A and B are shown apart, each in its own frame.
Chain A
């Protein structure tokens, strides 16, 4: 989903103050708001419309685009270690997977035996 300010020229690379688009180029001449797939969470939102479905990360506390995700040294180490430990392992397949699927069917309960279950 890409939100655009209705009063701002999307051909401008970056603009202030509310939203910075990852890719600010205008892709199409039309828009198609989809009320089920986006959130307008602040007063600033009234000037925005949905341009297309894509991905944009909003910092909901500050009300503007901010990249939540970054690879820190720790993240990098976790990925490196996981590769060291499980390199070469493959998903279960063939008859083993068939047996797993059968086991899943057998292990599901139609009714819970414990309380507070929906």
Chain B
């Protein structure tokens, strides 16, 4: 399946600077089938500027997740860095809803801990798995390239939780500290396309 440049153009905001449009097109083009096995370049993945509110796709520090403990058979409250899955306007506190909205989050797993785990389990094809991850070849994982702190993460779309919108928005007080990064256009579009593919692919491979 090829990459149709005309179609991506329809999705790019018309007032976006030409340089950003070009980077977005070229960034996404890397994932078309003909380029699939090549290493990917993730420059301009994160925003250089900082907004004073949370954006969809933000990487946020230390949010609570209910995590099932197989030993005790109980849920445990653990804190993970998280990727904001919810839409920006759904998170905005000025957006008053009749029913309170909740914020959907995905766990972020530091890549270095994943690499340690591969070693610990003595996985033979660890290098191949890492290449697949960095080339975005697992549908339920979004690889997040090195950020300004030189950390890489995996966002796991199959392990989501919600918190109250108010609970997230209180973190705006120290948003510089609480937010790790925001996604720039390339990162944001890649995130949305991958999220769409993971949750909305049709047709199903089964009859119902």
User: Which one, B15-23, B44-52, B106-114, is touching chain A?
Assistant: B106-114
Residue pairs across A and B with CB atoms within 8 Å: the count is: 154
**B 115-145 binary contact with A (CB < 8 Å = 1; else 0):** 0111011010000010010001111110000
Question: A109-B79, A111-B79 in contact; A86/B31 too (CB < 8 A)?
Answer: yes
Q: Does chain A have a CB within 8 A of B41?
A: no
**A 78-117 binary contact with B (CB < 8 Å = 1; else 0):** 1111111111111110011011101111111111111111
- Establish whether residues B197 and A108, one from each chain, have CB atoms under 8 Å apart when the complex forms: no
Look across to chain A and name the residue whose beta carbon is closest to the beta carbon of B69: A105
Q: List 7 A-B contacts (CB under 8 A).
A: A60-B99, A81-B11, A89-B138, A91-B139, A91-B140, A99-B120, A103-B114
A-contacting residues of B (Cβ < 8 Å)? Answer: 1-4, 7-8, 10-11, 28, 31-33, 61-65, 67, 76, 78-80, 98-99, 107, 109-110, 113-114, 116-118, 120-121, 123, 129, 132, 136-141, 154, 156, 158-159, 163, 167, 170-171, 173-174, 177-178, 190, 192-194, 196-197, 200-202
B-contacting residues of A (Cβ < 8 Å)? Answer: 39, 41, 60-61, 73-74, 77-92, 95-96, 98-100, 102-118
